Structure 1
Amino acid sequence: MCGIVGILGRAPVAPQLVDSLKRLEYRGYDSAGVATLDGGRIVRRRAEGKLRNLEASLDASPLDGAVGIGHTRWATHGAPTEANAHPHATDRVAVVHNGIIENFRELRAELEAEGATFQSQTDTEVVAHLASRELAAGASPRAAVQATLKRLRGAFALAFLFAGEDDLIIGARRGSPLAIGHGQGENYLGSDAIALAPFTDSVTYLEDGDWVALTRNAVEIFDESGATVVRAGVRASAAAIVVDKGNYRHFMAKEIAEQPEVVGHTLARFIDMSAGRIRLPEGADVDFAKLDRLAISACGTAFYAGLVARYWFEKFARLPVDIDIASEFRYREPPLSPGGLALLISQSGETADTLATLRHCRAQGMRIGAVVNVPTSTIAREADLVFPTVAGVEVGVASTKAFTCQLAVLAALAIKAGRDRGVLSVEDETKLVSALVELPRLMAEALRLEPEIEKLATTFAKAQDVLYLGRGTSFPIALEGALKLKEISYIHAEGYAAGELKHGPIALVDESVPVVVLAPFDPLFEKTASNMQEVAARGGKIVLFTDAEGAAHAGDAFAVLTLPTAYAFVSPMLYALPIQLLAYHTATFMGTDVDQPRNLAKSVTVE
């Protein structure tokens, strides 16, 4: 989660930029940099490592300029070096960026063929060169940005600074957040309200696809088509808190919306974006070829992430997987292989049953791997290998972004296992990695279903029972969908493997029971469609989540929600979003406490 800030001020802005970046350092601290205009020229200071290194650079060589942009980086493309630090610039434009530009290789090759010289390994630098090319052809800054945005594929937030334009910053968002701060004769841009808190409590959040042209006295917002739009402003707390709901009603809604961004940054910890290959974090490498079996254990939502991972490890690596709910694992006393690997999954890293399982496996001589969101947690400290999720703080008790980040890590590990064990070729790895790199963009597209899902929530709020069905990797997502609905709406729900419908659950089906079917158009779709016909024959209300091809074969469904077409490998992460939204809007319609549902705690630290 990189941090972006931009300031149109009335005095030198470099100190203010650094102060804002300090508030955003939780979003990234591999490197940092600022750029301002001095006599109309773009001047930069960048430094590897913590912000104090950038401060030292500015102390030694201060920057003037009353307009500037800054960035604190969590590396995706390229190592955390000064050369790869943002802002990236030509003599005409400087850019800071959060997210992933999926098609940067093609764009870079095109630009290099035209004579552009690149100074970094990053995907961001192509944005600066694209905009610079448009400016050189005579385009205005606004036209240059609009043309550049049309060439980019991915999920991102951007801020542009232009040589000779000391009263202009342009920002854009597609899948990653960006907020405008309104001042008196000054205006600001930031990744969230936290960055803007020292300057203003008047904030406007850009919606997905928006771009904005800021001057000191005006704010012009445009939608993806270039039409001028108005977005509602909010009053943000002037207190510099680390966790802020922004313009969302609940933390859970904000955390659902953050998933394109945080999944992208989690993947960046496990993928060499430039090479299109898996690269595990330093100190966390493991040779899966030496394993005969893999043991996975977790609780609640994390357990469902493990269930999905079992499909991946066994399909792509032919590695047998034993998986248990952590509260059952050690009591079942399964035979464990000394020297084998136990993979524990926990958002907090403090889950009591999961920690007890870790210690049981350790006593049996197993090596311990941990997929955790808190690197200082007990589970992380006691593990041999830590595979971090980069979800950021998750306030909502019902896990959302932590779940999809766990899946992202497990997907990368499964590909690594497939390569280690000779099941996947280099070409296979490249194909699967490409599917992961596309995922943040697809997630951002999936979130656009929210208005349709909100309408459906009124139907679900009237139900006493709901069934969720899925096959293959969609089965654990069905389990997760049912859990989410139970957790926050208090409606009874059950998830089933679709093939089990006739083995009992079909007895519950009548016109009062919504049946949620998760069925991307894959080799299992036809069988799931048969189950849908059985439900329809009994009057059940089928709510089908599928893709365009699946929608064309939907048959008799109460509602069909069409997600972006995606490679089957990544569909569990993509289909997790609409079921989270369905649970959320059902609960809000019913008036329950979404962020703190009754009887539940964020981290279960007792057995």
Structure 2
Amino acid sequence: MCGIIGILGQSAVAGRLLDGLRRLEYRGYDSAGIATVHDGVIERRRAEGKLNNLAERLAAEPLAGNSGIAHTRWATHGAPTEDNAHPHIVDDVVIVHNGIIENFKPLRDELIAEGREFLSQTDTEVVAHLIARELARGLPPRDAVAAVLPRLHGAFALGVMFRSEPDLLIGARLGAPLTVGYGEGENYLGSDAIALAPLSQRIAYLEEGDWVAITRARVEIFDRDNRPVTRPIVESGISGQLVEKGNHRHFMQKEIYEQPVVVAQTLRSYLRRLENKVALPDMDFDLAGVKRVTIVACGTSFYAGMVAKYWFEQFARVPVDLDVASEFRYRQPVLEPGGLALFVSQSGETADTLAALRHARAEGQTIAVVVNVPTSSMAREADLLLPTHAGPEIGVASTKAFTCQLAVLAAFAANLARAKGRMDADEEKEIVAQLAEAPAAMNAALARDEAIEAIAPLIAPARDVLYLGRGPDYPMALEGALKLKEISYIHAEGYAAGEMKHGPIALIDDAVPVIVIAPSGPLFDKTVSNMQEVQARGGKVVLISDAEGIAAAGDKCLATIEMPCVHPLIAPLAYAVPVQLLAYHVAVAKGTDVDQPRNLAKSVTVE
């Protein structure tokens, strides 16, 4: 959510700043802006809506200057208007901000009482006024920022420049990521390595509470107590080429199609095929001693954790608690000694999940994380890092990150089962063989794309859609409903199929399509019984099953989606594909913004 890029360059920076903002589009935004400092003047261009609007402004009113900052805003305080768009200018200060200043109102009241006037509704403008006030009191820019930072409560990443010092860019982070890029005669600041990829491969990640003073010649980093510190400079390894859609219409479609490859890449890190074993990265704790697992995540990652709960309890016979990250700390969970807290996040920066991780750490839990960004805050704070290898995911609705999370969690469940003495060598060999088949099963599911596209017009007119499943297919029903909500704006709900009789069946009529996820197997008959209850009340069913399941129950369905016959372990990975494709094609049929749906951000870095 929100994106920041700053450049102290040797040539004009406006074009490069705009390019950096394009790399940050995946984070979600509703307005954007660029400011440069040039010849003692701060100049700014802002626009509501997409970056093309800002590009048109820049084409009509170019910005000069070799120093600048830019921002994509996801509205929190104040509507997504040009007045509320960043950068904000107050006196000699220009600022961009990702996050929320929780105590902005008393600070704003204090400043208004002193006679200061505000031009926006944002919390960010408060920070600019506070810094400007310290400058007016005679402090130099670095000292002014250092004086203001302790007064800010909440989560923030800040980029600040000054009319009087065009060779100075200050950044600060607390609860939101910020990265420094090192160049030759140039230096940079960005929300992530992707934004900086074409500018620099040499980057440093600011740690919690850090602030940085950047010039073209030097980078000086300070901790929250204003002590100089050194943060390691690493190679980002991210391509300088802007991620492209290729021959796909949308990033989401491209990322759905990438899943067999990236799941195979991920599994390659965890499967020892020649030895028929599942391996994990090195750890300095005894996995066999884990008494209980607490899984914490948000959104799609939460549903991956929900599937993992079935696997952990089935294979390892270890009890599992599952929590939505935004609720975890506030229910005062009982975390027993010897517990493992497992956090799942695509970005590794999700604010709720990161706060939950730190709470679990304070309660004495061993920390494991499943993340797609191995340099993220969660990754750096973990006892056990379990990386996925999905690559950059640009579409806001998670697809390939989700299935890679499932792959890692399945491997982890098997490894835990072996460590606990619940899985012998032959059983582990079977698990390895089945997981190795997952990419092929996903490829077979992708082959149903045209048939799924043909079903989309049957779903697109609906105002409400229900998804049903049992066992691990229940979280897949929840994920299918979430995907449809996210990108098509159709109200959808996922239910455990057996719960229909306990209330939701009252919603059934011929205007409410029901998507049933039911691979053949031990739960098939029960699920089909619930499906038939829906059909008896006029419900229009789309059945997602294999050939055996469709032959047994598909004759009265509105439509069927035939899946390959797969082992129950890898069914969630394979069945993720049709629920993703169905949501995608329905959204395309409705004409919504598939990659950047309204009101959503890729990485939620504020609570």
Within 5 Å, which residues of 2 pair with 1:28-177?
Answer: none
The worse-fitting range, judged by mean Cα deviation, of 593-602 and 415-424 is 415-424
Match for residue 479 of structure 1? Answer: 478
Match for residue 272 of structure 1? Answer: 272
Alpha carbons 2:531, 2:541 under 8 Å: kept: yes
Letter in 2 for 1:279: A
Tell whether 2:258 aligns with 1:261.
no
| TM-score normalised over the length of structure 2 | 0.60
CA-CA distance at 1:552 after TM superposition: 1.3
Alpha carbons 2:289, 2:338 under 8 Å: kept: no
CA-CA distance at 1:284 after TM superposition: 3.9
Within 5 Å, which residues of 2 pair with 1:2-13?
Answer: none
Q: Deviations over 1:102-133 (max 9, x none)?
A: xxxxxxxxxxxxxxxxxxxxxxxxxxxxxxxx
CA distance in 2 between partners of 1:581 and 1:469 (Å): 17
Match for residue 593 of structure 1? Answer: 593
CA distance in 1 between partners of 2:373 and 2:434 (Å): 27
CA-CA distance at 1:288 after TM superposition: 3.1
Match for residue 303 of structure 2? Answer: 304
Alpha carbons 2:284, 2:383 under 8 Å: kept: no
Letter in 1 for 2:318: L
Q: Deviations over 1:239-288 (max 9, x none)?
A: 9624111000000000000000000000011111222210112x347643
Alpha carbons 1:482, 1:494 under 8 Å: kept: yes
CA-CA distance at 1:367 after TM superposition: 1.0
Q: Deviations over 1:196-235 (max 9, x none)?
A: xxxxxxxxxxxxxxxxxxxxxxxxxxxxxxxxxxxxxxxx
Match for residue 410 of structure 2? Answer: 411
Tell whether 2:380 aligns with 1:381.
yes
CA-CA distance at 1:339 after TM superposition: 3.7
Alpha carbons 2:291, 2:338 under 8 Å: kept: no
CA distance in 2 between partners of 1:352 and 1:289 (Å): 30
Match for residue 421 of structure 1? Answer: 420
Alpha carbons 1:554, 1:560 under 8 Å: kept: no
Alpha carbons 2:292, 2:338 under 8 Å: kept: no
CA-CA distance at 1:408 after TM superposition: 0.3
Q: Deviations over 1:479-524 (max 9, x none)?
A: 0000000000000000000000111111111111110000000101
Match for residue 41 of structure 1? Answer: none
CA distance in 2 between partners of 1:595 and 1:534 (Å): 36
CA distance in 2 between partners of 1:503 and 1:285 (Å): 47
Question: Any idea what SS the aligned residue of 1:553 has?
Answer: helix
CA distance in 2 between partners of 1:242 and 1:414 (Å): 36
Q: Deviations over 1:330-381 (max 9, x none)?
A: 1011111234210000000000000000000011111110100000101111
- Structure 2, unpaired ranges of 5+: 1-238
Question: Any idea what SS the aligned residue of 1:483 has?
Answer: helix
Match for residue 527 of structure 2? Answer: 528
CA distance in 1 between partners of 2:356 and 2:495 (Å): 27
Within 5 Å, which residues of 2 pair with 1:203-242?
Answer: 241-242=241-242
CA-CA distance at 1:539 after TM superposition: 1.1
| TM-score normalised over the length of structure 1 | 0.60
**TM-align CA RMSD:** 1.2
Q: Deviations over 1:419-470 (max 9, x none)?
A: 1111111111111110100110110010011101101110111100000000
Letter in 2 for 1:591: G
CA distance in 2 between partners of 1:552 and 1:289 (Å): 44
CA distance in 2 between partners of 1:301 and 1:276 (Å): 30
Alpha carbons 2:468, 2:514 under 8 Å: kept: yes
Letter in 2 for 1:426: A
CA-CA distance at 1:299 after TM superposition: 0.3
- Structure 1, unpaired ranges of 5+: 1-238
Question: Any idea what SS the aligned residue of 1:551 has?
Answer: helix
CA distance in 2 between partners of 1:273 and 1:287 (Å): 24
- Classify 1:284/1:488 alpha carbon distance in 2 versus 1 (closer, same or farther; 3 Å): farther
- Classify 1:246/1:515 alpha carbon distance in 2 versus 1 (closer, same or farther; 3 Å): same
Q: Spell out structure 1 runs of 4+ moving beyond 6 A.
A: none
CA distance in 1 between partners of 2:591 and 2:538 (Å): 28
Match for residue 566 of structure 2? Answer: 566
Match for residue 439 of structure 1? Answer: 438
Letter in 2 for 1:417: L
Tell whether 2:548 aligns with 1:549.
yes
Letter in 1 for 2:485: K
Match for residue 516 of structure 1? Answer: 515
Q: Deviations over 1:122-162 (max 9, x none)?
A: xxxxxxxxxxxxxxxxxxxxxxxxxxxxxxxxxxxxxxxxx
Higher RCO structure, 1 or 2 (CA under 8 Å, sep 6+): 2
Letter in 1 for 2:275: A
Letter in 2 for 1:387: L
Match for residue 498 of structure 2? Answer: 499
Match for residue 243 of structure 2? Answer: 243
Match for residue 292 of structure 1? Answer: 291
How many pairs align?
368
Letter in 2 for 1:598: R
Question: Any idea what SS the aligned residue of 2:467 has?
Answer: strand
Match for residue 135 of structure 1? Answer: none
The worse-fitting range, judged by mean Cα deviation, of 401-410 and 269-278 is 269-278
Alpha carbons 2:544, 2:560 under 8 Å: kept: yes
Question: Percent identity among equivalent residues?
Answer: 63
CA distance in 1 between partners of 2:327 and 2:253 (Å): 32
